[in-house]
């Protein structure tokens, strides 16, 4: 196998692992990866505005609003207006949303994060630089993406049917 084939096989394995985990997440918890990440942030950090959530998720405010809309439609979150500043709205998990969090499988990247943290600084930097270069070579370096391993659209509408 030549080097180009090795790179393509490695990329395909990453994509395949992400796809398989994404399908498992949808099947077991009926949420997408970004939806789960958003719910976890709400659970762990409490009251946050949409702009704060967007910053934490490394996504645009419009994308986070779309994710929230879908979660609210499924009654997994609710939006609560601030008593101190009526302009601020805080998404909060519902009981139903909390139950999904309890039963959701761990994120695919949890094992990756643990293993990545065990690498030396120089090796971490090499991986980051290489992946950033690959993203650039695929014209994907400017795409809106969250730090969550998931495939497809950030918030797939077909989940609503589950």
Question: Model confidence over 58-106: pLDDT tens digits?
Answer: 888 998 999 999 999 999 999 999 888 888 899 999 999 999 988 887 7
Q: What number of residues does the chain have? A: 162
Over residues 128-151, the mean pLDDT reads: 81
- The percent of residues above 90 in pLDDT, for the chain, comes to 51
Measured distance CA(109)–CA(116) in Å, rounded: 10
Largest CA distance in the chain: 63
Q: When comparing pLDDT for 153 and 126, which is higher? A: 126
Q: Which domains does the chain have, with CATH numbers?
A: 3-161 (1.10.10.10)
Q: Where are the alpha helices (DSSP H) in the chain?
A: 3-29, 33-45, 50-57, 61-73, 95-103, 108-117, 121-137
C-alpha distances in Å from residue 80, one per residue of 55, 95, 120, 147: 20, 15, 44, 26
Reported confidence tier of residue 26, pLDDT bands at 50, 70, 90: confident
Across 11-35, b (16+ Cβ under 10 Å) vs e yields eeeeeeebeebbeebbeebbbbbbb
Q: Give the three-state DSSP class for 47.
A: coil
With 80 as the cut, is the pLDDT of residue 14 above it?
A: yes
With 50 as the cut, is the pLDDT of residue 162 above it?
A: no
| CA 16 and chain centroid, separation | 17
With 50 as the cut, is the pLDDT of residue 9 above it?
A: yes
Measured distance CA(32)–CA(24) in Å, rounded: 10
């Amino acid at each position: 196998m030549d080097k180009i084939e090795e790179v393509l096989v490695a990329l395909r394995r990453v994509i395949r692992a992400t796809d398989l985990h994404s399908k498992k997440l949808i099947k077991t918890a009926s949420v997408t990866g970004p939806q789960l990440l958003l719910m976890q942030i709400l659970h762990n950090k409490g009251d946050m505005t949409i702009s704060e959530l967007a910053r934490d998720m490394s996504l645009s405010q419009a994308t986070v609003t779309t994710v929230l809309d879908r979660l609210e439609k499924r009654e997994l979150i609710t939006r609560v207006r601030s008593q101190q500043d009526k302009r601020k709205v805080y998404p909060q998990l519902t009981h139903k949303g909390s139950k999904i969090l309890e039963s959701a499988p761990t994120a695919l990247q949890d094992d990756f994060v643990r293993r990545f943290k065990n690498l030396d600084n120089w090796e971490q930097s090499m991986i980051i630089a290489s992946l950033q270069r690959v993203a650039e070579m695929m014209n994907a370096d400017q795409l809106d993406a969250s730090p969550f391993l998931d495939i497809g659209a950030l918030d797939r509408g077909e989940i609503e049917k589950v």
